[in-house]
Amino acid sequence: MTMTQVLVSFGQPGTVDVKIDIDLTLLLGSAERYYEVATEAPQRQRQDLASIVPRIEDALRLELGPDRLHLVFRSFTPIKAQKSDYLDGSTSNLSTFTFGAVLPASTAPLTLEVPIAAPVDYPIAYTVQIPAAHLSVTRWLEDGMHQSEPFAWSTQVPAAPAHAAAAAFDPNAMSWPAQLALYLRLGFQHIVPEGADHILFVLGLFFLGITWRKLLTQTTVFTVAHAATLFLSTYGIFRLPSRIVEPAIALSIAWIGIENVVRPRLGPGRLAIVFCFGLIHGLGFASSLSDVPFPRHDFLVALLGFNFGVDFGQLFVIAVAFLAVGWCRNQPWFRARIAVPCSLAIAAVGLGWAVQRIVFW
């Protein structure tokens, strides 16, 4: 009982996640060699994977019309089995390879091409999923079949966000200055223009009172907090599911807006609340990185770059708001005519988002 599994998931707009479960016996030439690769030291395994991964991509080709889908290798998980299980050729010992890719401008149907004499086991279970459309389609390629039926994905997949283009790059092939510049830009884009919820939260901090002391104190506390949970979550130390984080972010926006109206002063209580909400927003920042490939080596440089990009985005929002209404901040009517109505509007949007995310998540 042998087989190969290929799963293509259009989970994030504009990007594709690919998971391939494959027995490497045919590709490597023997079960002994497969067992050796699966159990060898990590450094040696990485060297072997450098030659194995391109061969897998060539044996199981995902194509949009005449063009190959450019896959970026993410991870390899070997099967945990005894050597005797590897040597038993009656069943498949499937190891898992994961990849990411950006959908190109082409809207041609997606097909799986398997060249003649490709070193893969048949049958091949080829599954395409579009979670947003609650769609999952599986096609089986039996021995002798070398092309799947075309799948028209373009009418069912949402448009790509701006940061999706990052997955078109292999960050491991980039120098650390190039990585820093790339992730700075991605962090900034996560706030402007993609982070409407984070923009509203920063504006809520802004409308407490337009003085440099209030702005600097609040944004510093917020930055320290979201940087802490961004690092902890990205390193896998602490995480919360999005179904909890996203409604909590919306409620934090509403809370800040309401507090601007009922208790408009900067004190330890306000700073404690901003810090707690910063921790929640950091988890939200971390969840946005799930579809962005990070380098295996200069990982900290990329993470710092993303964090500073987020901070620059927040400062940009404050600067634009200051230019828009800062000129009248000392007028006696500023709070009644601008700060309070804007804060109430921010609170109303936050409450609306919270209800939407709780009910429809």
Q: What pLDDT score does 237 carry?
A: 76
Domain stops at, among 141, 164, 188: 141
207 located within any domain? yes
Q: What pLDDT score does 296 carry?
A: 57
CA distances from 276 to 102, 222, 256, 269, 271 (A): 35, 8, 12, 11, 9
Q: What is the mean pLDDT of residues 222-229?
A: 87
Same domain, yes or no: 110 and 176: no
Cβ partners under 8 Å of residue 253, min gap 6: 197, 200, 201, 204, 346, 347, 349, 350, 353
- Among 70-84, 117-131, 172-186, where is mean pLDDT lowest? 172-186
152: DSSP letter: -
- 96-124 in b/e burial notation, b at 16+ Cβ within 10 A? ebbbbbbbeeeeeebbbebeeebbbbeeb
Count of domains observed in the chain: 2
Q: What pLDDT score does 167 carry?
A: 45
Same domain, yes or no: 302 and 185: yes
Same domain, yes or no: 196 and 310: yes
Q: How far is CA 249 from the centre of its chain?
A: 17
- Give per-residue pLDDT as tens, 271-286: 999 999 989 988 887 7
- Among 71-75, 129-133, 254-258, where is mean pLDDT lowest? 129-133
Please give the torsion angle defined by the CA atoms of residues 194, 196, 198 and 199, in that order, rounded to the nearest 10 degrees: 110
- Give per-residue pLDDT as tens, 302-326: 778 888 888 899 899 999 998 999 8
Same domain, yes or no: 37 and 90: yes
161 located within any domain? no
Domain stops at, among 121, 141, 161: 141
152 located within any domain? no
- Give per-residue pLDDT as tens, 79-127: 887 788 788 777 778 999 999 988 777 788 899 999 998 999 999 999 9
Greatest C-alpha distance within the chain: 84
146 located within any domain? no
Same domain, yes or no: 324 and 228: yes
- In DSSP terms, which residues pair with 20 in a beta bridge? 6, 97
Same domain, yes or no: 37 and 97: yes
Q: What pLDDT score does 238 carry?
A: 75
Q: What pLDDT score does 290 carry?
A: 57
Q: What pLDDT score does 166 carry?
A: 47
Same domain, yes or no: 69 and 180: no
Same domain, yes or no: 74 and 179: no
Indicate the residue type of 127. Answer: T
Q: CB 10: neighbour CB atoms within 10 A?
A: 22
For 30, the domain range is 4-141
Cβ partners under 8 Å of residue 268, min gap 6: none
Residue 24: pLDDT over 50: yes
Find the CATH number of the domain harbouring 312.
1.20.1250
Same domain, yes or no: 136 and 182: no
Residue given tokens 């009644």 in the structure block: 336
Same domain, yes or no: 243 and 340: yes
105 located within any domain? yes
- Among 58-72, 132-146, 346-360, where is mean pLDDT lowest? 132-146
Residue 170: pLDDT over 70: no
Domain stops at, among 141, 162, 183: 141
151 located within any domain? no
Give the pTM.
Answer: 0.55
55 located within any domain? yes
Contact 183, 305 (CB under 8 A): yes
If one compares 53 and 239, the residue with the highest pLDDT of the two is: 53
Indicate the residue type of 318. Answer: I
CA distances from 4 to 63, 78, 79, 121, 144 (A): 18, 14, 14, 6, 14
If one compares 170 and 41, the residue with the highest pLDDT of the two is: 41
Same domain, yes or no: 261 and 187: yes
pLDDT band at 162 (very low <50, low <70, confident <90, very high): very low
Alpha helices by DSSP H, the chain: 25-28, 31-39, 42-59, 83-87, 176-191, 196-206, 212-234, 242-262, 268-288, 299-325, 334, 340-360
Same domain, yes or no: 63 and 190: no
164 located within any domain? no
